[in-house]
């Protein structure tokens, strides 16, 4: 089994872990109702996508 010869310093450990973080989801604004929504998805509050009604009010 491989055993490290030297202790990994805090700096080197943290540099290695620099990419292991969560990114917050990007949020865009619905042009119809100005509610926050995920990009490239139907607005959950008004049911429109690219200016066209995709879901009716009963389906929401």
- Between strands 36-37 and 48-49, the pairing is unpaired
What is the residue extent of each domain of the chain?
24-60
What is the model's pLDDT at position 36? 96
What is the model's pLDDT at position 1? 83
Distance CA 6, CA 23 (A): 33
Q: Which residues, listed in sequence order, are joined to residue 17 by a DSSP beta bridge?
A: none
Q: Which residues, listed in sequence order, are joined to residue 28 by a DSSP beta bridge?
A: 37
What is the model's pLDDT at position 56? 80
The per-residue pLDDT string of the chain (60 residues; one tens digit each, 9 = 90 and over) reads 899 999 999 999 999 999 888 999 999 999 999 999 999 999 988 899 998 888 887 777
- Across the chain, where does the E strand assignment appear? 28-29, 36-37, 48-49, 52-53
């Amino acid at each position: 089994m491989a055993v490290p010869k030297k202790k990994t310093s805090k700096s080197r450990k943290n540099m290695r872990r620099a990419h292991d973080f969560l990114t917050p989801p990007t949020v865009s604004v619905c042009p119809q109702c100005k509610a926050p929504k995920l990009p490239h998805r139907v607005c959950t509050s008004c049911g429109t996508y690219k200016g066209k009604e995709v879901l009716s009010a009963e389906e929401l």
